[in-house]
Structure 1
Amino acid sequence: MSGDLTWRELISQPDAWAALISRLEGGKLSLPVNPADFDELILLGSGTSYYLALAAADWMRRRGMNARAIPSCEALLDPFESRRSAARQLAIGFSRSGYSSELILANKKLTAAGFTTMGISCSDGSDLLTQTDHPVLISEGFEDGLVMLRSFSSMLITAQWFFGDAADRATLAKLPEKGHDLLALEPQLSDLANARNFDRFVFLGSGPTYPLTLEGALKIQEMAIATSEAYHSLDYRHGPKACADENTAIVLFTLSERDHGLALARDLKSLGVTLLAIGADAVAYDKVADMTVPTGIADDAAGSVAALLTVQMFAFATALRRDQDPDAPANLSKVVMF
């Protein structure tokens, strides 16, 4: 079928997570630096890898680390980001291929400015891994397809494991089982994707799920070649909802403040949209949303890759409805180099 490679890599993720977590639990893959040795941690990436950096930085901040994410191009183009400092700084770069020109060139500037560098990639022997101070290979995330799926989820799990505690790791260890459960929802997600002639897609989230909105919107753009948008959840009410209609599909990552989340969901449904609610608290939206998908993980941050697995299936089904081939998205290449 169209997108066969993409589909195989999409559904392979729970097994890849299990193999990865086994290595992490066994100590065969470990954090090569001590975060306490640094005053500031800068996370870098481009496209999907930048959204991964945003999610990882949010995770780290909530655990007391001074972390922030910036696109690789900003570290390359803005001298402010690569200025010298008396602070002890660690730059962590994410790249599936390890050959992204923006990240490689940014790493060189940051090294020259006195940063210690750490590279996380899914490609053995890549430039990122050979040119960084502390290379981390996530072989379970390697994929042949163009759209980043398994690579994103594998690198995010690794970052969360590295920068989490024992309780976090116990939660992350549940992901393979939950992932298999979610794959069983593919028929319902396909039915939802085909319910209407959707031509606009919106992703809403807050806190740790906001980076997921950006990645979800990108998956629709890449696989289905369709218009998609991402917003902080309640911000959608401040203007963007003017474009909502019966051909709009909205994915809402459920909010920790249930009353606000349900009020938003009711507001969205009054606009005539189709609403998919995903998250730890999704069951609470059963009477409002067109479909709800509980991730089975109480912590939405730890359940990020499970939530995105759902989005990836919805985006794939949307691509097929629109007669697009996810294996060969228009205008895209697997690695952006210049």
Structure 2
Amino acid sequence: MADTSREIESQPDVWRQGIALADVGRAALAAPGERMLVLGCGTSWFMAQCVAELREAAGLGETDAVCASEFVPRRRYDRVVALTRSGTSTEVLDALQRVDAYKVAVTAVAGQPVDDLVDERILLDFADERSVVQTRFPTTLLAMVRAGFGADLGHLVADGEAALRAPLPTDPAGIEHLVFLGTGWTVGLAHEAALKVREAAQAWSESYPAMDYRHGPVAVAGTKSLVWSFGGTPAELDDTVRGAGATPYRDDRDPLAQLVLAQRFAVALAAHKGLDPDRPRLLTRSVILR
């Protein structure tokens, strides 16, 4: 089995381990009342968006999510959290050196340069990946964070297992354009799902806050478009999608389980196009600038 597919299928098992670290996640990332910045690049930036929304929604304090390459130290933070699977991404390391605050890294590999720049590290090495394309590290991170912030995730593992068995929403051979929609913390998941399609299948994919879809993006939808909603997006959007000739998709599983299905769809689309998702075009495990 290819690394990407194997790691997708392992997610329910590693989520159990992530949820078991709820107290660790809460101690390092909840920090009630503190102003927090969450940094990341690529997938980790989208996870930062999810974490920031989840933290504020839980009433824990003001939280910003910033792409590390765009970080400019304009305001004061009590705590800065860097999300970095490899612990080596240049832009994340540079950003950490330019901010004065208590610093936490969430990573999958010990002994990397990020360790020397932070006060505390959460190591999710059991969720590390061989694949360039991230799947189980970011979802395990979110499982830990959600549990640490008080969410009831008793259903999550079962939903993830169901998503591994579920049929794909449609035949990838009939799809040329994917749009992912989210609301609240699932906007970050929508961005991540679209990125998986671009990385694994080199395909046209977009992502938006759900209610913004009618403010322009729907104009390019057509008969070969699949519009996929994460979380509690308004059901009436499906009528807009159908009116454009496109196919809407939503289900009632946990949003992380819905992301598992989207990951599977990206891999299936790659296979249809004759691509190897373990060797994505122009990508490496970590972006290191010299």
**What is residue 265 of structure 1 aligned with on the other side?**
238
The aligned counterpart of 1:202 is 179
CA distance in structure 1 between the partners assigned to 2:55 and 2:25 by the alignment: 19
Aligned to 2:93: 104
In the alignment, is the contact (CA less than 8 A) between 1:141 and 1:153 conserved in 2? Answer: no
SS of the equivalent of 1:249 reads strand
CA distance in 2, matches of 1:267, 1:16: 37
1:336/1:33 Cα in 2 relative to 1: closer, same or farther (>3 Å)? closer
The residue aligned with 2:272 is: 321
1:229 partner SS = strand
- For 1:240, the equivalent position in structure 2 comes to 217
Whether the 8 Å CA contact 1:17–1:140 is kept in 2: the answer is no
Q: Show the counterpart of 1:306.
A: 257
Give the residue type in structure 2 aligned to 1:294.
Answer: D
Q: Which residue of 2 aligns with 1:274?
A: 247
Unaligned runs of 5+ in 1: 278-292, 296-302
Q: Per-residue deviation at 1:48?
A: 0.3
Root-mean-square deviation over aligned CA pairs? 2.0
In 1: Cα distance, 2:188 partner to 2:220 partner? 22
Which protein is bigger by CA-based radius of gyration? Answer: 1
Q: Contact 1:223 / 1:316 at 8 angstroms: preserved in 2? A: yes
What TM-score, normalized to structure 1?
0.80
Judging changes above 3 Å, is the alpha-carbon distance between structure 1 residues 142 and 247 closer, same or farther for their aligned structure 2 residues?
same
Checking the alignment, whether the CA contact within 8 Å between 2:178 and 2:227 is kept in structure 1 is: yes
> Of 113, 118, 128, which aligns to 1:132?
118
Q: Once superposed, which parts of structure 1, at least 4 consecutive aligned residues long, lie more than 6 Å away? A: none
Post-superposition CA distance 1:204-248 (Å, at most 9, x none): 122221111110110100011011111111222222222111111
- In structure 2, how many angstroms separate the alpha carbons of the residues matched to 1:54 and 1:334? 21
Deviations 1:145-186 (A, max 9, x none): 110001111111222233x13xx1xx224322221122111x
Moved more, 318-327 or 41-50: 318-327
For 2:157 and 2:177, the matched residues in 1 are separated by 31
1:51 touches 1:214 (CA, 8 Å); kept in 2? yes
SS at match of 2:213: helix
Q: 1:193 to 1:231 in 2, by over 3 A?
A: same
Residue correspondence of structure 1 range 114-193 to structure 2 within 5 A: 114-162=100-148, 164-165=149-150, 168=151, 171-185=152-166, 188-189=167-168, 192-193=170-171
Paired position in structure 1 for 2:43: 48
Offset of residue 143 of structure 1: 0.7
Displacement of 1:57 in angstroms is 0.5
Are the counterparts in 1 of residues 37 and 81 from structure 2 also a CA contact under 8 Å?
A: yes
1:301-328 deviation per Cα after TM superposition (whole angstroms, max 9, x unaligned): xx33222112111111111112111001
Look up the SS of the partner of 1:118 in the other structure. Answer: strand
Question: Cα–Cα, structure 1 residues 31 and 317, in superposed 2: closer, same or farther, change >3 Å?
Answer: same
Q: Tell me the distance in 1 between the aligned counterparts of 2:203 and 2:173.
A: 16
1:20 matched residue in structure 2: 18
Which residue number in structure 2 is paired with residue 287 of structure 1?
A: none
Which amino acid in the other structure matches residue 177 of structure 1?
Answer: A
The corresponding residue for 1:280 is none
C-alpha distance 67-225 of structure 1, shift in aligned 2 (>3 A): same
Say if 2:106 and 2:122, in contact at 8 Å, map to a contact too.
Answer: yes
Paired amino acid for 1:264 = L
Aligned counterparts of 1:204 and 1:220: Cα–Cα separation in 2: 14
Q: How does 1:38-77 map to 2 (within 5 A)?
A: 39-64=34-59, 65-75=61-71
Q: How many residues align?
A: 288
Deviation of residue 34 (structure 1)? 6.8
Distance in 2 separating the partners of 1:73 and 1:59? 23
User: Secondary structure at the residue paired with 1:143?
Assistant: coil
Q: CA deviation at 1:18?
A: 1.6
Q: Which runs of 5+ in 2 are unaligned?
A: none
CA contact (8 A) 2:231 2:255 kept: no
Residue type of the alignment partner of 2:246 = V
CA distance in 2, matches of 1:195, 1:15: 30
CA contact (8 A) 1:316 1:326 kept: yes
* Conservation of the 8 A alpha-carbon contact between 1:140 and 1:154: no
Matched-pair contact (CA < 8 Å) for 2:230–2:255: no
State the Cα distance separating 1:255 from its structure 2 match. Answer: 3.0
Q: In 2, are the aligned partners of 1:49 and 1:95 still within 8 Å (CA)?
A: yes
Q: Report the Cα distance in structure 2 between the residues aligned to 1:11 and 1:45, rounded to whole angstroms.
A: 25
* Normalised TM-score (structure 2): 0.92
